[in-house]
Homo-oligomer: A and B are copies of this chain.
Amino acid sequence: MAITIPSSSTFSPTVMSLIPLFYIGWADNLLSPSEIKTIHQGLSKFPNLNTADRKLLDQWCNPAKPPTAQLYKQWKNLLKNAAQQSTDSHKKNWLELGIEMAKLQSSNSPDTENALRELYETIGLNETSIPDSLYSKSQRQQFEEEETSSFSVPKMKSILDDEYEELRDQMRTLLSDPVLHADPEAIRTKADYREKVLEWCQLLADQGLGALSYPHANGGKDDMGSYATVFEMLGYHDLSLTVKFGVQFGLFGGSVLFLGTEKHHKKYLTDTGSLKLAGCFAMTETNHGSNVRELQTTATYDPSTDEIIIHTPTEHDSKEYIGNALHSKIASVFAQLIVNGEQHGVHTILVPLRNEKHQLLEGIRVEDNGYKLGLNGVDNGKIWFNQVRVPRANLLDRYGAISDQGVYTSPIENAGKRFFTMLGTLVGGRVCVPRAGLSAAKTALTIAIKYATQRRQFAPSPNEKETLLLDYPTHQMRLIPRLAKAYALDFALSYLGKRFANRSEADIREIETLAAGLKSYATWFTSDTIQECREACGGKGYLHENRFADLKADADIFTTFEGDNTVLLQLVAKGLLSDFKKEFHDEGYRAVLRYISSQMGDTITSYNPVFKRNTERSHLLDAEFHLDAFRYRERQLLYEVSNSIRDYIKKQFPAYEAFLKVQNEIIALALAYVERIVLEQFLEGLKTVKDDPCQKILTKLFQLYALSTIHEHRGWYLENDYMNGSKSKAIRQQIYNLCGDIRPHVKDLVNAFAIPDALLKAPIAMSM
């Protein structure tokens, strides 16, 4: 029996149930040919569709005849009517509204409902909430009060915390301790701030955290995975502390551990881990930062006294930006080793800097680097050595030693290979830095998202509440794709951490490439995200109390230290190119083609014109499409760059010049590689998630990361005819839709980062 509806005509239950579909389809002009096809296919499965209804629905499907304003208004009134009948405490999605619409008229047949469900799910209407405007004012208020979530925050937290959940929780508690916090005014000058950070660092060492990665014999736990996790968690605290901690235990301690031998471990590691011995890592020089191989400091062996003489040749060759330079007693100094007049390349020598009274030793000069853009709690300085003598035993001699007879020996004959092997052992910094950076980005996202779900500005009409910032589409586009990327990076960096913890000789080069690439990609993400979040919080974001000031300033150097991102990406690309070259070296062009097609596997679809134009939702949201697009881009760039270089070299350009000529493309290639890895690892991570609601929202984040990245590169994809303009536009529409779908869950998604209020601090991120 039909109820009274505000219209002149009466629709059958089936037609009623389909009105939401047409209402939304016509509203956003989504009725593309492929969608219409989908609707027709869906309709054929409805058991009780009579001829009149079929004819009516066909009319509604006709793209040449959009509904009249009257008809559209009638639909809207019917939908409002149905929505306002509801007494549910949660917002309906379009499918539920469709079912409600049918119920209003008569009892429902289960077959019809199944057909309806299938059709709506294909179009994705089971996942999108109906707009607020269909509800009454009182319903709207009610919904706002009880924001419900579809997934369990503790379960999501466990997924992110992974195997280190216990350690992470311990760190959350430890770092919330008031003793690890200071009033901002109290650490405004670098002297005060450095003092405080040194104190904090000692407290962490007292907890045994500094020595985690060292052998059991040297006071440690031989647990690199836990060390990296601690470093990541420090990223939620003060980044000066994070860096100070990393310099002392990771860089200085790491140089002793990885470049030294048993005798060095015994003598130094325990005191390093307890911070009884403060050390610094003296690699970078004023004139040589990226180009470490050309460091100018010399370490000359003097057989007459069995000592090594450390010397800075000119004023501009001082060590620079050396963290811990003012607090440390000893330095691991990177210098050109000269034995019997022969230079053996960069080696590392332990050089005491200060005596017990903390006075500089003879021949050593240290100068404060002064204030920096950020990280003013870290004491960076310059160091000069004037003919400083240390015993031969101070040479960290794992990869190059001087025998008792004063002869240089090394397990690695080739000087270049030796250099890269030594540097390779220090890759831990590049594994850790992006993780601390991601913590900083998550902090920024948490603050900006919490603010955007409380802050209102501008009302639809004079008597209504103002709109929440996060309900503005532009605001969603600023924050939600970045939230998705933070999740993606979480999985990818966790993968990198595991690969690093379990590394072997065989895969260390691959891990170096991975670390260099992810470090660059993730730290740029950090800078970009903090900046966007600051702006998204307007004036409030500019107040120091709301954290962006320090986050921005402190994390800014992450794109430069542990390897400048632009330089690192060139290393990444060179790694990819040399693998590529190896693969087909002497086989020529056909081998290349074979290689490409073997690597692309199922990407043949991409040459298919149907694929190129496919704008169906199911296709656009399909991980197979995403993987194909990411892999295609990487392979294509690899092939092009490789070809260009070969071409230039064939034309007598020196290799160096040939590389320069394609330098911009080389950077693009390296980033394409990283993005492909991130996508794959996000997908791999997703597969292991057991909890269904968590997997569902993670899938949305995955899709959003994938499509945002493709959209970011749409210029490239269109240039290369991988897709056409309509597909590119359809992808943009899906990005908007995904932002809308994820919108109700954003607060829970940042709550799953589980950053304690004591660390978050920002007043605007606290509930008012």
Contact = CB atoms under 8 A, between A and B. Distances in A.
A566 interface: yes
A72 to B, nearest CB: 5
Contacts of A548: 373
Given A373-B549, A373-B552, A725-B718, A661 B28 contact: yes
A557 interface: yes
Interface in A454-477: 456-461, 466, 472-475, 477
A94 B474 CA distance: 49
Given A542-B560, A654-B133, A660-B472, A27 B648 contact: yes
Contact of A73 (B185, B466, B652, B720): B652
A458 B290 contact: yes
A291 B718 contact: no
A95 to B, nearest CB: 21
A544 interface: yes
Contacts of A544: 370-373
Interface in A561-578: 561, 564-566
Contacts of A459: 294
A290 B457 contact: yes
B321 A539 contact: yes
A652 B373 contact: no
Contacts of A664: 473-474, 477, 736
B294 A466 contact: yes
Contact of A289 (B133, B535, B539): B539
Nearest to A557: B542
Contact of A720 (B185, B543, B651, B725): B725
B289 A370 contact: no
Contacts of A358: none
A534 interface: yes
A728 interface: yes
Chain A interface size range: 35 or more
A467 to B, nearest CB: 8
B552 A26 contact: no
B715 A320 contact: no
Interface in A705-747: 711, 714-715, 718-721, 725, 728-729, 736
Given A474-B663, A721-B725, 11 more contacts: A28-B661, A188-B371, A289-B538, A290-B538, A460-B657, A472-B663, A475-B566, A539-B560, A552-B553, A664-B736, A718-B718
Interface of A: 26-29, 69, 72-73, 76, 131, 133, 184-185, 188-189, 284, 287-291, 294, 320-321, 369-374, 456-461, 466, 472-475, 477, 527, 531, 534-535, 538-539, 541-545, 548-549, 552-553, 556-557, 559-561, 564-566, 647-648, 650-654, 656-657, 660-661, 663-664, 667, 711, 714-715, 718-721, 725, 728-729, 736
30 contacts: A27-B648, A28-B661, A29-B647, A69-B651, A185-B189, A185-B371, A188-B189, A188-B371, A284-B539, A289-B538, A294-B459, A321-B539, A370-B545, A371-B543, A372-B542, A373-B543, A373-B544, A472-B663, A473-B661, A474-B566, A538-B560, A541-B560, A542-B556, A542-B557, A552-B556, A715-B715, A715-B728, A718-B718, A718-B725, A719-B729
